[in-house]
Amino acid sequence: MKTLITTAMVAALLAGCAEQDANDFTALQNEAGAVLDNGTFGNATMNNTLVQSGESTYTINLARRFSTEVQSTITFEFNSATLDAEARAVLNQQATWIRQFPEVRFKVYGHTDRVGSSRYNQALGLQRAQAVVAYLASQGVSRSRLEAVVSLGETQPLIVTDGRERRNRRTVTEVSGFVAGHPSVLNGKYAEIIFRDYVASAAAAPIGAELSTGTDG
């Protein structure tokens, strides 16, 4: 009887090992780390790729440069999506900056004050964003790089008030990323994009100019 029990136990153990080996073999057919994937493995890999290639870093750097070097916000008259002279002047500056970086995409967010219904303000905020996109396109910026993708309406006021407030009636232009497949951003060469405009804007030394050595002639 003991022999029969022992034989049965051995058979069960061998069957379990065979099943485990089969599972291990199946796992080897997948990419490394797949057996640990709880649904977020791909997201982590994507984030690591962005960081290692530099895209994430340089998108942030460009966004900071844009908001520092160019006024990113314009404002509107009450219940209007019309661009006045001051707004057009700011958008001209934005267009000049944007044209320097044909690899970069931008989003324009439309805002309103809190006067009026939420539904109406959502529509008005989007109209303002679309007006900005149309104007930037008229200044030579490809529409494929511009998105009036959301209207934040009255939900993000700069000045918290239920009354009329021009500073809340605004659009904000922001860097949103790089153009997919653009040849200038392949192989993680994002540093070249940041550096290029500095090189291009460097003033050439006058012909015949000589550096002073600080000694008597």
Where do the domains of the chain lie?
Answer: 50-197
Helix 190-201 crosses helix 55-69 at what angle (to 10 degrees)?
30
Cα distance between residue 50 and residue 59, in whole Å: 10
**Residue 151: per-residue pLDDT:** 81
From its phi and psi, is residue 139 left (phi > 0), alpha (psi between -120 and 50) or beta?
A: alpha
Structure tokens belonging to residue 93: 């500056």
Model confidence, pTM: 0.61
Domain 50-197 fold: 60s Ribosomal Protein L30; Chain: A; (3.30.1330)
pLDDT of residue 150: 77
203 in helix, strand or coil?
Answer: coil
Give the closest residue to 113 by CA, choosing from 172, 173, 160, 174: 160
pLDDT of residue 50: 47
Residue 189: the pLDDT is 57
Dihedral of CA atoms 185, 186, 191, 195 in degrees, nearest 10, equals: -50
Residue 193: predicted pLDDT: 61
* Low pLDDT (below 50) residues in the chain: 1-4, 25-27, 31, 33-41, 46-48, 50-54, 186, 209-217
**pLDDT for position 173:** 96
Residue 17's pLDDT is 56
